[in-house]
Structure 1
Amino acid sequence: MEDTRMRAAVARRFGGPEVVHVVQALKPTPKRDEVLIRVHASTVSIADHRSRSRDLPKGLGFYGPIALGVFRLRRPILGMDAAGIVEAVGDEVTRFAPGDEVIAMLGAKFGGHAEYACIAETEAVTRKPANMTMEEAVTLVFGGHTALAFLNRAGVGPGDEVLVNGASGAVGSAAVQLAKLRGATVTAVCSAANADLVRSLGADHVIDYRVEDFASNGKTYDAIVECVGNAAFDRVEHSIKPGGALLMVVTDLAGLLSASRNSKRSGKLVTVAGAPVSGEDLASIVHLAETGEYRAVTDRVFDLDEIVEAHRYVDTGRKKGNVVLRIA
């Protein structure tokens, strides 16, 4: 008889890391267009932190219950990404077969912090790099997917000057690498402690935010990738070249509501949304990883039973790159 249960990290209510517990949950069943992944690894990201704690950027608290749930999490199994092995496929699936090793961006549907997860084959799922372990491969997903979406939105390419604010996090470290691989000159903003890391990822220049304010040093950029939440358009407008872009991966309510208006007024792209990222787009990152041009950035690895400690570490705000959760 087939086992219909699985182990999963579940948050029944909002709160600190201790609200997350590993329990027996119902194993998902793939729909006709979905693949069922036996998850080997996921990551604990800033998105998991915000969803669990309801610690949202200024002004967005009102929208939290709409997106996350009123009294408890609408999606109690967190985890936006997964790396694992396809166990079963729906009747309409043609791109994957049982046994395929894959990585997937589950996105706002979450579900990666469990032994099994489902995703439609038309979404951001692709075969994992052959030269990476599951724990390494999963680090390509959350940060790489997000960075790719925003760099594509701005059309970043050869000769562009790009600044990444918050360059040592999951998205920032991916943005540094992908922008550099596109031929851009990259300036990374981070702490002095992370300067060597971002240089090793390809950053041409590093600014220690404790010593220098990039928004007031007179330098300008074709694109600013904002991964921190402190680079509002009013602050950095004069640091963006004519026709350039402010890519707000993180922003507050004011930034969200004023983005379109600031774009029209300034002639510069101000956006809180990236371009769609397909499985083929994710495969382009896999190719870069297989050729050694793109590297995994892992801070720490926790086992599923250490999920509380993993959340507690992410809550510190000091992680470098990715915090990996080993499921299998």
Structure 2
Amino acid sequence: MQPTSLDSPSGPAATAPRATTMRSIVQDRYGPEPEDVLRTAEIARPAIRPDEVLVKVHAAGVDRGTWHIMAGLPYPIRLAGFGLRRPKNPSPGRAFAGTVEAVGASVTGVATGDEVYGTCNSSFAEYACVRADRQSAKPATLSFDQAAAVPISGVTALQAVRDHGRVRPGQQVLVVGASGGVGTFAVQIAKAYGAEVAAVCSTAKADLVHALRADRVIDYTREDFADGRHRYDVVLDIGGNRRLSDLRRTLTPKGRLVIVGGENGGRWLGGVDRQLRAQLLSPWTAQTLGTFVASENADDLASLSGLIEGGKVSPVIDRVYPLSETAAAIRHLLDGRTRGKLVITLRSAGDRI
């Protein structure tokens, strides 16, 4: 079924049968400018497979990966299953929070009406098909908007701190990029694991990072965190672009560097060359240098739920946009002013917050 534009008041969307269709963000081609490639449309509701659940989406998260999927850049992302010449999925949304509408024949432990959160394809829509192993019960203490901010950024931060940083109580941890989506979670999770955390951000975002209970906040516009005066057991470089030699200078002789992000705009590697150099160098030094690709799974969502419901981690929401302003949300992300997370809401007047 071809999508029908909702932007035209005279289009056939007004008479489309709501029982079989839904509102969705749609893109037909790749492009770096969200205003050029994203539009709101009425499309057919998706049909679930036996190992999936159909979720009524109440909110969807926006992260840097959203832009990469939308733009199809760097090019290797197209080989990862998102479509070579044109987008494979209707929208670039991935994180969601919502209510289970239907359950696949082989799915157990989930029932209609359950409140869940997790990752899927095309979450910028009223309904989404979700693999059973990529969703978990929504933390009862969070609203749908808050929960939608957690799955991608929270899981990435958890795996960076716990699995790759191997943070232990009493360690000195440096988080570079502490005010962004992953960074705000990483600061809190490292604190929950008993570390003393120094957090790097700009002047305008220092108050936010202080509120996350960082032990020390470093304003990179006034102080060079890589001047060698302070050494850390673990450095989490989230979205930074400092040279590998600078980052190594911040580590103890046997410290661990985890590069979570960092981009240079390249169409082929997009900044991944720095991560590759770190991994190639790591076997030849006492320091552990590396990176990783986050694994989307229900177990880590459940672990995050425990931290959230225990009061140790809370998502930081910058702004919430309606579905029709998804392009504006991605533009705000690209502008670099985001404090924490951006969320797309699909709630209607009758939905519970």
TM-score (norm 2): 0.85
Q: Say which SS state the counterpart of residue 214 (structure 1) adopts.
A: coil
The equivalent position to 1:8 in structure 2, one of 16, 24, 32, is: 24
Q: Would the aligned equivalents of 1:145 and 1:277 in 2 still touch at CA under 8 Å?
A: yes
Q: Does 1:26 align with 2:44?
A: yes
> Residue type of the partner of 2:248?
E
How far apart are the structure 2 equivalents of 1:274 and 1:158?
25
Distance 1:255 1:281 in 2: 27
Shift of 1:143: 1.5
Aligned: 1:323 with 2:333: no
Which amino acid in 2 is paired with 1:99? G
Q: Which residue matches 1:126?
A: 136
Partner of 2:299 in structure 1?
Answer: 280
8 A contact 1:150–1:247 mirrored in 2:
yes
Q: How does 1:88-237 map to 2 (within 5 A)?
A: 88-106=102-120, 110-123=121-134, 125-151=135-161, 152-237=163-248
Distance 1:255 1:155 in 2: 21
State the alpha-carbon separation in 2 of the partners of residues 44 and 275 from structure 1: 16
Q: Distance in 2 between matches of 1:80 and 1:275?
A: 13
Larger Rg: 2
Change (3 A) 1:43 1:117: same
| CA drift at 1:148 | 0.7
Q: Is the 8 A contact 2:62 2:149 kept in 1?
A: no
Once the two structures are superposed, residues 144-169 of structure 1 have per-residue CA deviations (whole angstroms, 9 ceiling, x without a partner) of 11101111222112111111111000
* Residue pair 2:173, 2:232 contacting (<8 A) in 1 also: yes
Q: Secondary structure at the match of 2:70?
A: helix
Deviates more, 1:317-326 or 1:20-29: 20-29
- Cα offset, 1:265, TM superposition: 1.4
CA distance in 2, matches of 1:305, 1:179: 36
CA distance in 2, matches of 1:28, 1:232: 45
Q: Structure 2 vs 1, CA of residues 30 and 103 (structure 1 numbering), >3 Å: closer, same or farther?
A: same
CA distance in 1, matches of 2:339, 2:290: 25
Task: Specify whether residues 228 and 2 from structure 1 end up closer, same or farther in structure 2 by C-alpha distance, changes over 3 A only.
Answer: closer
Distance 1:64 1:274, change over 3 A: closer
Q: CA deviation at 1:229?
A: 3.1
Residue type at the aligned position of 2:216: H
Aligned-residue RMSD, C-alpha? 2.0
Residue 31 (structure 1) shift: 1.4
Aligned pair in 2 of structure 1 residues 70, 229: CA closer, same or farther (>3 Å)?
farther
1:262 aligns with 2:318: no
The match for 1:35 is: 53
Check the 8 A contact 1:233/1:246 in 2, yes or no.
Answer: no
SS in 2 for 1:215: coil
Of 162-171 and 285-294, deviating more is: 285-294
Aligned length: 319
Distance (Å, rounded) in 2 between the aligned partners of 1:74 and 1:279: 24
How many Å apart are 1:63 and its aligned residue? Answer: 2.9
The alignment partner of 2:226 has SS state of: helix
**What is the aligned partner in structure 1 of residue 326 from structure 2?**
307
Distance of aligned partners of 1:274 and 1:204 in 2 relative to their CA distance in 1, 3 Å threshold: farther
Unaligned ranges ≥5, structure 2: 1-16, 263-270, 348-353
TM-score (norm 1): 0.91
Return the alpha-carbon distance in structure 2 between the equivalents of residues 112 and 289 of structure 1.
22
Code of the aligned partner of 2:220: Y
How far off is 1:53 after superposition? 3.2
SS of 1:132's equivalent in the other structure is coil
Conserved in 2, the CA contact under 8 Å of 1:148 and 1:277?
Answer: no
Identity of aligned residues (%): 38
Distance in 2 (CA, whole Å) between partners of 1:20 and 1:275 is 26
